[in-house]
Amino acid sequence: MDFENKKVLVTGASRGIGRAITSAFLANGAAVWGLSSKEPADLPQRLSAAEGKLSWLTVDLSELRAIEGVIEQAVKSADGFDVLVNNAGITKDGLAFRMKLEDFQRVIDVNLTAAFLISRIIARDMARRRSGAIINMTSVVGVHGNGGQVNYSASKAGLIGLTKSLAQEVASRGVRVNAVAPGLIASDMTDTMPEEAKSKMLDHIPLRRIGTPEDVAHAVLFLAESPYITGQVLQIDGGMFM
């Protein structure tokens, strides 16, 4: 894949799936702006390894009112992005009957509302330039649901609606909007799951392994450069849901 001279913004780039997406774009020639709530400890090493092709934005996406100013500034300083990957996400699991309103709201804010705020600023600029690709990180639970995750699955289902609606709004201006829906992927987010739960899930994965962040990154780059795909949700789940 060739992303030479392309500019990419990746949210949640400090670790896990976002980190793998950032590395894959850099390895394929892109300049990348990573965004996370905290600077990763190894940022100096990552910046020097990227030889000027990696920039960093430290923004807490739960602070919704701060987002637009920072993203507008980033669009200006980058002189426009070719690709946006809305990857940042959190979980705050619990059964619906016991879930605190703030735990529902925070997950919606970070996973969905922040993606909406970032997308509309960048999509507007892409539309002006008549080109661009946005990829939203949803989840198989946004399609199929999952007990104990009403907040998370609602945020991920919301991202699917956002993806399809925005895709319809901007397609005529040359901007594509797609989503990827990972299944079980090894990362900090899934590290805390009990081994028993993971091995039960593994029984339902025909490819017989847990996915890697690189598996997801591969699909993100594919969608970023596929000129005739828009409004789609691509499941990356080893065949868990067919």
Ligand X SMILES: NC(=O)c1ccc[n+]([C@@H]2O[C@H](COP(=O)([O-])OP(=O)(O)OC[C@H]3O[C@@H](n4cnc5c(N)ncnc54)[C@H](O)[C@@H]3O)[C@@H](O)[C@H]2O)c1
How far apart are the C-alpha atoms of 194 and 89, rounded to whole Å?
Answer: 20
CB-wise, 107 or 166, nearer to ligand X? Answer: 107
Binding-site ranges for ligand X (CB under 6 A) = 12-18, 36-37, 59-62, 87-90, 110, 137, 139, 182, 184-185, 187-190
Is 152 among the catalytic positions? yes
First to last CA, the chain: 27
Minimal distance in Å, beta carbon 2 to ligand X?
A: 25
Letter string b/e over residues 54-74, b meaning 16 or more CB atoms within 10 A of that residue's CB: bbbbebebbeeeebeebbeeb
Active-site annotation holder among 24, 111, 152, 240:
152
Minimal distance in Å, beta carbon 51 to ligand X?
A: 22
Minimal distance in Å, beta carbon 38 to ligand X?
A: 6
CB-wise, 22 or 230, nearer to ligand X? Answer: 22
| Count of helices and strands (H, E) across the chain | 10, 7
CB-wise, 113 or 230, nearer to ligand X? Answer: 113
- By the 8 A CB rule, do 13 and 21 touch? yes
Burial of 52 (0-12, 13-18, 19+ CB in 10 A): exposed
Minimal distance in Å, beta carbon 64 to ligand X?
A: 10
Minimal distance in Å, beta carbon 129 to ligand X?
A: 26
Q: Following DSSP, what letter does each residue of 89-132 receive, concatenated? A: -----B-GGG--HHHHHHHHIIIIIHHHHHHHHHHHHHHHHT-E
Can you tell me whether residue 136 is helix, strand or coil?
strand
- By the 8 A CB rule, do 213 and 19 touch? yes
CB-wise, 131 or 232, nearer to ligand X? Answer: 232
Q: Which residue has the tokens 């030479």?
A: 4
Give CA separation, 5 vs 30, 57, 80, 84, 173, in Å.
Answer: 6, 20, 12, 15, 21
CB-wise, 127 or 202, nearer to ligand X? Answer: 202
Q: Which residues are catalytic?
A: 152
